[in-house]
Chain A
Amino acid sequence: MHDARDAEDQRKLEAGEYVALLESYYGVMLDRSRVKVRREDDAVAVAAEVAIRLLSELKRGRRYRVPFRVVVHQVIKWKAKEHFARGKIDEVDLEDWLRKASTESTDELEGDRGFEGLIDGLTELEQEVLRLRYVEDLDFQEIAKRLAKEPNAVHQIHHRALTKLRKEAA
């Protein structure tokens, strides 16, 4: 799901195209900030903080052993937290995480999973329904056919998976 994007990010990193690389994440920086922070002005401020922080990291020569997108999402989380804390109390933790990301492998860090793999508590079937719906873009009828189930059953599995996701995210 992420391979092409990761490869393009890597190319930009190696070519030193840092601003272009970051610009390609502006949409998600803004949208995730919008769902984390209520006011539009605050969301834009958080997203800008993320971009500035990452650019400063890249310009300082930091390289990561995890895909760049994982780093982007982690910095979004920290900057949103920082916004609510109205200070820099988490800066040390962020530094730690970024240092880890530049020295440890992907498996040792959170955030490098597909949508269907985000929650540990999902059954295989629930994961498969989410994958078919949100990766393969199948409608519920098609998923039912693929899994040899009734469409109603697929709806229920989908509902259970999203409920777990909401609870886990809360």
Chain B
Amino acid sequence: MSEVQLETLFDEYATRYLRGERPDVREYLQRAGAEREEFCRLVDRFLEAVPAREPTEEDVVIMQARIEQQPPILVLRLRRALSREAVVAALVDRLRLDPAKSGKVAGYYHALEVGNLDPEPVSRRVWDVLAELLSANVRWLAGLRPEGPAAAVAYRREPTLMQAKLDRAAPVGAATEVAEPDEIDMLFTGSA
């Protein structure tokens, strides 16, 4: 990438930002390629100088999850005021699974939500349903690890509520109690 291309890239980012759009800096970092460091310097000074844009909901979920040391998908679901049962019911319905196997889906979903299931082999069909239901890039959020720095106690706005919801969740590892591999296993682990 030439100097001119780098400046054009920065100019595009900066003007979009100032027009109230929310250009994703990660996408621009990728586009900068080998000039990433130079691009970073420009953007860093730019962001320091201009009024901060409003955060996206994804920003808030990522930060809240990190600060409260909770899995991002769980934080997102609670922000949407959706019960785990509602998410599982939607998965069963939209993936046209056997309702009698809701328990198994619930086990997998719980493992996915709390970060105990590798998101890599999970079927795109599952991510599509979750993305639509939770209105976010759930696949990307699932890739973020829940562990974080020592949380500030004062930051926990509703610790009791959050804990109560966690306590009601299915035990980790429920998915592993399944005896026979089937379509549900295929959807969540990529293998039957």
Contacts and interface: CB of A to CB of B under 8 A. Distances in A.
B155 A55 contact: yes
Nearest to B51: A5
Contacts of A52: 67, 149-152, 155
Contacts of A19: 155, 157
Contacts of B19: 137
A86 interface: no
Nearest to A77: B48
Nearest to A72: B52
B145 A2 contact: no
Interface string B20-43: 001001100100000000111111
B181 interface: no
Contacts of A35: 25, 29, 39-40, 43-44, 47
A63 interface: no
Interface residues of B, number: 48
Contacts of A118: 45, 48-49
B55 A55 contact: no
Contact of A27 (B29, B43, B56, B66): B56
Interface residues of A, number: 52
Interface in A142-168: 158-159, 162-163, 165-166, 168
A113 B49 contact: yes
Contacts of A98: none
Nearest to B52: A28
14 contacts: A25-B55, A27-B22, A27-B59, A30-B59, A30-B62, A30-B63, A35-B25, A35-B40, A41-B145, A52-B149, A137-B18, A137-B19, A166-B38, A168-B45
A134 B55 CA distance: 20
B63 A115 contact: no
A135 B54 CA distance: 17
Interface in A41-77: 41, 44-45, 47-49, 51-52, 55-56, 59, 69, 72-73
Given A19-B155, A51-B63, A159-B7, A27 B52 contact: yes
